Amino acid sequence: MKAIRGATTVAADTPEEIRGAVKELLEEIVKRNGLQEEDILCILFSNTSDIHSLYPAKAAREAGFTHAALYSSLEPEIDGALPLCLRALLFAECAKAEHVYLRGAANLRKDLKKFSVALDGPSGSGKSTVAKLLAASFHILYLDTGAMYRACALKAVKEKLTNITEEAVKPLMDGLDLKIEYRDGTQHTILDGEDVSEAIRRPEVSMAASNISALRCVREKMVEMQRQIAKEQSCVLDGRDIGTHVLPDAEFKFYVTATSAVRAKRRYDELKAKGYSVDLSELQKEIEERDRNDSTREFSPLRKAEDAVLVDTSEMTIEEVLAFIRKKIQEKV
Ligand code: DC
C-alpha cells in the first residue's frame, strides 16, 4: 500500500469552487497513479481554516468517490500558510506513489519539480495562447515573461519617461515594485501594488515594451525574477530568450513562429474583439518593426535556440499546435 499526497487551492470559499477543485485533484491523482476505484482504501482531507462552505470529503463523495472511506479535518491557523488550500492523503494499493500538487499548491512541493518548457517566438505567433493551454493541461505554472517587460514599459509611460536609455531607466528599475501573483492558476501582474494585467495589453504599451526590453538593466532584473519563479516548480515560460538565455537547460524548447501577415491578422482580430479600432496594415508594419527590434538588439535577442523544435503555426490551429507540443513532451515524461 502507498500513501499518495495531493494538494490544490480554490479561488474562493464557495461550494462550487471546492467541488471543482476536489474533483480535479482526485481525478488527477487517479490518472497519474493509474488507480482503479477499488485500489483506493481511504482518503483523508484537510483544509486551511479560510475554507468552510463545504467539507472536501463531501465534495469527494459527490464526485463519485464513494468506495473509499473519507475523512475531513481542519488545519490549525498557521501564519503565512498558503491560503484557501486543500490537501488530500490517499491510501491506495499501487506500486509507487506519484504525488499531485495543482494550481498554486505546487509551491508547497518544490522538490517535485519535473520539467521546464521554454516557448519562444515573435509576437502573434500564438505562443502565449499555447503556453497557457499547455501549462493548464499539465497542471503546471505558466509564466508570461512578456507581461513583465510590459509592466516595466507601463512604469516608464506612467513616469512620462521619453528617453529610453540605460541611464534614464536604471533608477526606475532599482525602485521597481513588480510582483507576479497567481490567483487560481491565473497570472496577475502587480505594479506598485496595482493589478495592471489589463493595462499592459494596451497597444501603446507593446512598442514601449519592445524598446525598454532591449536595455541591459531591465533584462537583468527580469531574468533574475523569471529564474527564481521557474526554479521552484514545473513550468511553461514564454518569451523571446527563454531557451537561449533564461532557461538554457530547459527540458523542452520550442520556437513558435508564423508569417508576419498571419500574426498581424491574429493581433487585429484580438484587439478588435477587445473594442480597439486598429488598422491591419499598420499592425503588420508595427509587428515587423517589433520583430526587427527584438531580434537585432544586443542583449539576448529573439532567436531560436539550437536545440529548440521549430513550430510554424501559419497554417495550424491552436489545437493542432497544442497537440503537437504536448505529444513531444509526453514522449519523454
Ligand atoms: O510577448 P509580448 O508581446 O507580450 O512581449 C512584449 C515585449 O517584451 C516584446 O516586444 C519583446 C519583449 N520580451 C522580451 O524581450 N523577452 C521576453 N522574454 C519576453 C518579452
Residue 139, pLDDT score: 85
Q: Are strands 186-191 and 194-195 parallel, antiparallel or unpaired?
A: antiparallel
- Coil/strand/helix, residue 296: helix
Which atom of ligand 1 is closest in space to residue 297's alpha carbon? 15
- Coil/strand/helix, residue 184: coil
Mean pLDDT, residues 120-143? 92
Report the distance separating Cα 68 and Cα 37, nearest Å.
Answer: 8
**Mean pLDDT score of the chain:** 94
pLDDT higher than threshold 80 for residue 331: yes
The best mutation among 116, 130, 149 to test binding of ligand 1, ranked by most ligand atoms within 8 Å of the C-beta, falls on 149
Q: Is 149 in the pocket of ligand 1 (CB under 6 A)?
A: yes
Report the distance separating Cα 153 and Cα 187, nearest Å.
Answer: 18
Q: Is 125 in the pocket of ligand 1 (CB under 6 A)?
A: no
Nearest CA to ligand 1 atom 8: 146
The best mutation among 130, 145, 295 to test binding of ligand 1, ranked by most ligand atoms within 8 Å of the C-beta, falls on 145
Mean pLDDT, residues 98-112? 86
pLDDT higher than threshold 80 for residue 134: yes
Nearest CA to ligand 1 atom 2: 146
Mean pLDDT, residues 130-135? 95
Q: In angstroms, what is the span from residue 108 Cα to ligand 1's centroid?
A: 29
Q: Is 209 in the pocket of ligand 1 (CB under 6 A)?
A: yes
Mean pLDDT, residues 311-327? 96
Q: In angstroms, what is the span from residue 47 Cα to ligand 1's centroid?
A: 39
Q: In angstroms, what is the span from residue 63 Cα to ligand 1's centroid?
A: 42
C-alpha cell belonging to residue 37: 476505484
Confidence grade of residue 319 (pLDDT, cut at 50, 70, 90): very high
Residue 164, pLDDT score: 94
Where would I find the beta strands (DSSP E) of the chain? 2-9, 40-47, 69-74, 85-92, 100-101, 116-120, 141-144, 178-183, 186-191, 194-195, 235-239, 252-257, 309-312
Identity of the amino acid at 235? C
Residue 182, pLDDT score: 86
pLDDT higher than threshold 80 for residue 184: no
Residue 104, pLDDT score: 81
Residue 217, pLDDT score: 97
The best mutation among 200, 204, 213 to test binding of ligand 1, ranked by most ligand atoms within 8 Å of the C-beta, falls on 213
pLDDT higher than threshold 90 for residue 60: yes
Residue 214 DSSP label: T
Report the distance separating Cα 155 and Cα 194, nearest Å.
Answer: 11
Residues 6+ apart with CB under 8 A from 45: 22, 55, 56, 57, 60, 70, 71, 72, 73, 86, 87, 88, 89
Mean pLDDT, residues 21-50? 96
Q: How far is the CA of 311 from the CAs of 89, 122, 123, 194, in angstroms?
A: 40, 12, 14, 36
Phi, psi at residue 13, to the nearest 5°? -85, 70
107 within 8 A of 209, measured Cβ to Cβ: no
Instruction: List the one residue out of 53, 56, 48 whose CA is nearest residue 80.
Output: 48
Confidence grade of residue 112 (pLDDT, cut at 50, 70, 90): confident
pLDDT in tens, 148-158: 999 999 999 99
Where would I find the beta strands (DSSP E) of 125-227? 141-144, 178-183, 186-191, 194-195
Confidence grade of residue 333 (pLDDT, cut at 50, 70, 90): confident
pLDDT in tens, 223-276: 999 999 999 889 999 999 999 999 999 999 999 999 999 999 998 998 899 898
Mean pLDDT, residues 59-74? 96
pLDDT higher than threshold 80 for residue 185: no
Residue 109, pLDDT score: 85
